[in-house]
Homo-oligomer: A and B are copies of this chain.
């Protein structure tokens, strides 16, 4: 059986060009910065919500908030090279990263990231 991909230097099951070491480094930096900001945001919001707890319902609201954010973070922040376009697209769509931060990436890399962000944005609309 021939296991050579139809288009060399692309991922199996996609036509995406393989991420170079320097592109991955940019993506990693942007990814880590976005994750740090997101976690800081959850920490700040949790402190604020806890501070405003007046009755048990506020407690369980805080629990639900933490569970939802943890699940969303687990889902969105998965640094796998084969999923980097989607991951960055999701973060761009959610406003968690800016185009400015991704400026080190070439246009042929940015285009599918932007398409993914737009598609998600349209889905949410």
On whether the beta carbons of B67 and A43 are closer than 8 Å, the reply is no
Name the distance in Å between A115's Cβ and chain B's nearest Cβ: 31
Q: Quick one: copies of this chain in the complex? A: 2
Count of chain A residues with a beta carbon within 8 Å of a chain B beta carbon: 18
Taking CB atoms, residues of chain B closer than 8 Å to A47 are 50-51, 53
Q: In the complex, which residues 29-55 of chain A have their Cβ closer than 8 Å to any Cβ of chain B? A: 39, 42-43, 46-47, 49-51, 53
A119 in contact (CB, < 8 A): no
Cα–Cα distance between A60 and B60 once the two chains are bound (Å): 14
A120 in contact (CB, < 8 A): no
Name the distance in Å between A13's Cβ and chain B's nearest Cβ: 33
Name the distance in Å between A52's Cβ and chain B's nearest Cβ: 10
